[in-house]
Structure 1
Amino acid sequence: MCPCGLKARYAVQSCSPPSYTEPRPVRNLRSIMRITWMDKVINKHILERTGLPSMVDLLIRKNIRWTGHLMRMSPDRLPKQVLYFQLSSGHRKRRRPRLRFNDTIKRNLKLRDIKTDSWTSLSQQRNKWRATVK
């Protein structure tokens, strides 16, 4: 039987070992820890055993650090102007609205348990901001 539950004669055509689909660092950790895909250990457990953060955590941390850097920039810099940019005319299509950068910031701040009403003043103090993000 294949891990996905298909019979052996169809397994070659439809299934590939998870090592081809998982991120490279986790694949390397699996080989170091001698865990094969047949042991059915998920990536989350491997990262917990090693104490390493997941890729999502790393991306959220980098996003929040960049946001703090943006807040400390002078107002005449282009990245800060783009952060507060508003369109004067035009409209969006009917459907689910696209996610804006400000919405992503608020979501990431909530995931890190940082208050969304006072984060701008906290970001002005670089050392405290870096400690909060970690």
Structure 2
Amino acid sequence: MCNRINQVSAAFGKLRSRVFFNDNLKLDTKMAVYTAVRTSTLLYSAETWTAYREHIKQLEAFHISSLQKIFKLSWKDKIPHTEILQRAGTTTIETMLAKWQLRRTRHTIRLSDDRLPRQILYGQLPQGHRKQGAPMKRYKDQIKTTLKRCQIDHQALEGKASDRPPWRSTCKEVLSHLEEPIFNERREDNDAIIQQFNNKTTLE
């Protein structure tokens, strides 16, 4: 993960003066270039990831930091992350991952039983044992977590995913609902940081 962030950071630095800090370019152009760099390098094949919370936090921090540089903002401006995302017309990394994973899950479900991606999604080991401690997160665990956050019943997943138009509308609706708790959590964190900063300033 750190390697990918370093690669995107290097690409961002090469384009900083010519694109992102160029006042002659429109914001839509800058965001199009940033999205191309981010998607092709940082989030390449992200729909197959088994991401932990620490990975999401690293990606979100880099995502927000890059947008702040594009808008020429700093923490002193006290602009909430939610407002930065709305200005940029983009979403959180977590929502992007959920969207791509739902799209790939539908594709995997529609494959025949002899295809390897479907076998990985539905397969179970007939024997064996694991080491003591918490088990490592599997890809199917990642999908179950995504479905739970999107409030989609995994038992009725195959029936919903079999028809493309209803599935697309369902994904669009649940992803919009997924943004709300994330934004609310961010607002609470930002309010707490601002309150802490104000209290520190008052004491000084």
**TM-score of the superposition, structure 2-length normalised?**
0.49
Tell me, yes or no, if structure 1 residue 95 matches structure 2 residue 123. no
* 1:21-60 equivalences in 2 (<5 Å): 22-23=61-62, 26-60=64-98
Cα offset, 1:42, TM superposition:
3.8
Cα offset, 1:80, TM superposition:
0.8
Q: Report the CA distance shift for 1:129/1:38 in structure 2 as closer, same or farther (over 3 A).
A: same
Q: Report the CA distance shift for 1:102/1:38 in structure 2 as closer, same or farther (over 3 A).
A: same
CA distance in 2, matches of 1:113, 1:51: 24
Q: Report the CA distance shift for 1:93/1:28 in structure 2 as closer, same or farther (over 3 A).
A: closer
Letter in 1 for 2:171: V
Equivalent residue, structure 2, for 1:9: none
Number of aligned residue pairs? 113
Aligned match of 1:117 in 146, 155, 160?
Answer: 155
Equivalent residue, structure 1, for 2:187: none
Equivalent residue, structure 2, for 1:16: none
CA distance in 1, matches of 2:68, 2:92: 14
CA shift digits 1:36-75 (9 cap, x unpaired):
2321334333113444211110011111111111001111
CA distance in 1, matches of 2:114, 2:149: 30
Equivalent residue, structure 2, for 1:126: 164
Equivalent residue, structure 2, for 1:107: 145
The answer to which of 62-71 and 45-54 deviates more is 45-54
Letter in 2 for 1:133: C
Unaligned runs of 5+ in 2: 1-59, 173-204
CA distance in 2, matches of 1:130, 1:113: 15
CA shift digits 1:83-115 (9 cap, x unpaired):
122222221011012222222212111211222
After TM superposition, where is structure 1 displaced by more than 6 Å over at least 4 residues in a row? none
Structure of greater Rg: 1
**TM-score of the superposition, structure 1-length normalised?**
0.71
Letter in 2 for 1:119: L
RMSD of aligned C-alpha atoms? 2.2
Letter in 1 for 2:116: L
Equivalent residue, structure 2, for 1:73: 111
Q: Report the CA distance shift for 1:39/1:66 in structure 2 as closer, same or farther (over 3 A).
A: same
Unaligned runs of 5+ in 1: 1-20
Identity, % of aligned positions: 36
